Amino acid sequence: MTTGPAVLSATELLAAYKAGSLSPVEVTRDALDRIAAVNDAVNAYCLVDPDRTLADAAASEERWRRGEPHGLLDGVPVSIKDILLSRGWPTLRGSLSVDRDQAWDVDAPAVARLREHNAVLVGKTTTPELGWKGVTDSPLTGVTRNPWDVTKTAGGSSGGAAAAVATGTSPISIGTDGGGSVRIPAAFSGVFGIKPTYGVVPLFPASPYGTLAHVGPLSWTVADSALALDVLSGPDSRDWTAGPPRERSLSATLEAGVAGMRIAFSPTLGFARVDREVAALVAAAARTFTELGARVEVVDPAIVDPVEAFHVLWFAGAAASVVTLSPEQRARLDPGLLEICEEGATRSALDYLAATGVRAELGRIMGEFHEHFDLLLTPTMPIAAFDAGIEVPAGSQAARWTGWTPFTYPFNMTQQPAASLPCGFTSTGLPVGLQVVGPKHADARVLTACRAFEEARPWQGKRPILG
């Protein structure tokens, strides 16, 4: 299913609604039909509520009919990762330990902002249990698969969100990213995804992973993610760590271009091993920025792999997320999650503070690096998608998902904005992603650069064929 109104971008849909050539109900019906056609193959959605979704679309259609649309996303289908609370729908987080039969009467800030802007919520997308790893499978909802090759993983932990966008069931999907969970599936599934500067999008309840955890959109176009962030960045008093409201729309500066920018290209960050085919595609993508007028220099930031410090922070957060569970509930957890929880429970406060010190030094180094470079380019992933249903690729020496995600988690530690954009396909037809990293609070600059690349090397002409 590669045609139909639901495959249009959010900005195209809004223009069509304004012109009267499409209606929100027509688009939403197509989105729901597409979910029915493809979800058995990819398992992007764990909850769909057609009656409620169509009622919201009908209300939007009536506003457009009266010439009174309200909000930036009125009538646009949007899906939500099943980590974020959504009023009236259970948020089970891929876990058998969450009681479905309880009051679900609170929206997370991101969901509240979507409702205020009258997005049509089409469903909740799959996640690994408690969002703990870089692939998407869980004891509750099973395995999420890559739309380009259903034997491969879609990535994670926002794998359902990426698959939802790639299959054209929603032009925008909201994910979370604590160590790469927006960017990993964006790269593996051939869509755009951005982790904004920490605090741009308020989060409630607070993540057990603390200030590693960001909320960000995945989309088919850069403009759609900018539009989504303009919505999601609305203030919410429940998050005391969130930054101040943005003074300027991120959509307003998208067309500024990259001419004159100083851009660093680091093929390995100085410590990562990258598949040869992936490396060639990313290097070609980096050269595009030179053609667009930027000054691109091959240089590595002066950092070492912070994975051990990240593990302390991540595993301790995982342990905190299950501390109230009974022995019977713990026995039903994803075995890998239980392993890192048990390891995290052995970490002391001094261990945590030492890891925080590593994080602070990493932030200092990157801050100084960006005094010389406006942006940093890297591969998003060192490999293409591997077999679905496993945490690490066959033959890998790594025990955990962090062993094959060296380019993502460092920038959760530093809280910098980082995006993944499609930059080509391997010889076997699997997508490859280019990561664009900016200094803290330079979200507009990252989006501008991604938009410039998108115009020069558009990826929207090819979609996976399913259904």
Whether 81 is a known active-site residue: answer: yes
Three-state DSSP at 108 gives coil
Write down the catalytic residue from 23, 157, 170, 225: 157
Q: Which residues 6+ apart lie within 8 Å of 264 measured at CB? A: 296, 297, 298, 299, 301, 369, 372, 373, 375, 376, 377
Whether 157 is a known active-site residue: answer: yes
Write down the catalytic residue from 9, 23, 79, 81: 81
Give yes or no for a contact between 389 and 155, defined as CB atoms under 8 angstroms apart. no
Three-state DSSP at 383 gives coil
Q: Which residues 6+ apart lie within 8 Å of 205 measured at CB? A: 85, 108
Question: Distance between CA atoms of 316 and 42, rounded to whole angstroms?
Answer: 31
Burial-class residue 59 by CB neighbours within 10 Å (0-12, 13-18, 19+).
Answer: middle
Give yes or no for a contact between 10 and 114, defined as CB atoms under 8 angstroms apart. no
Whether 219 is a known active-site residue: answer: no
For CA atoms 182, 185, 187, 190, give the dihedral sign.
negative
| DSSP state for residue 456 in the 8-state scheme | H
154 Cα distance to chain centroid: 12
Question: Distance between CA atoms of 353 and 344, rounded to whole angstroms?
Answer: 14
Q: Which residues 6+ apart lie within 8 Å of 394 measured at CB? A: 386, 387
Q: Is the peptide bond before 95 cis (omega within 30 degrees of 0)?
A: no
Write down the catalytic residue from 95, 158, 173, 181: 181
Q: Per 3-state DSSP, what percentage of the chain is helix, strand, and coil (rounded to 5)? A: 40, 15, 45
- Which segments of 251-306 does DSSP mark as H helices, in order? 276-291
By annotation, the residues acting in catalysis are 81, 157, 181
